[in-house]
Amino acid sequence: MLAPMVWLGPILALISVLSYFEIFATWPVTRDVPWVNLTGLAIALGLSIAGLARSRRRALAAIGLVLTLFFGWIFVWYCYVFSSRLPGAELALDVGAAVPAVSLLDERGQAVDLEPLARGKLVLVFFRGHW
């Protein structure tokens, strides 16, 4: 009768991980620090441990606990290790280098040529959007 409780942990852990990408990654308050998903993973871990303690089928409950830990590990690795690495800047311009003939879009979507702007000093700031 307790077999469904064994699988509540892994199911909640999977929902917590997938909901980050489908729902919570769109807002900075839950994307930068995924507190909703980490809370869900903590509850899933508690359910898996409770399922292991109450289950008569220890092997099945252990598999549920391992799955919960695996989903949690993958999520934490993605958020705090994989996503924290910024791409390299091997092709970046050096300070004082000539501005290449490039046309970029402004905030209204209109093309702006950089060459006429580079007569004096020009500072380019790019927000890479990598998070």
Per-chain mean pLDDT for the chain: 85
- Sketch the domain layout of the chain as residue ranges: 3-82
With a cut of 60, say whether residue 130 has pLDDT above it: no
Residues, the chain: 131
Residue 21 sits at the vertex; the CA angle it makes with 20 and 27, to the nearest 5 degrees, is 70
Look at residue 18 in the predicted model and tell me its pLDDT.
Answer: 96
- pLDDT of 127 > 70? The answer is no
User: What's the pLDDT band for 2 if we cut at 50, 70, 90?
Assistant: low
Sorted by sequence, the CB contacts under 8 Å of residue 25 that are 6+ apart come out as 31
Q: Distance (Å, rounded) from C-alpha 90 to C-alpha 105?
A: 23
Q: What is the pLDDT of residues 20-48, one digit of tens each?
A: 999 998 888 898 899 999 999 999 999 99
Straight-line distance from the first to the last Cα atom of the chain, in angstroms, rounded to the nearest whole number: 44
Instruction: Give the Cα separation of 5 and 3 in Å (integer).
Output: 5
Tens of pLDDT, residues 66-95 = 999 999 999 999 998 888 777 677 777 787
CA 42, 43, 49 angle in degrees (round to 5)?
Answer: 90
Taking the C-alpha atoms of residue 10 and residue 65, their distance in angstroms, rounded to an integer, is 7
Contact 128, 83 (CB under 8 A): no
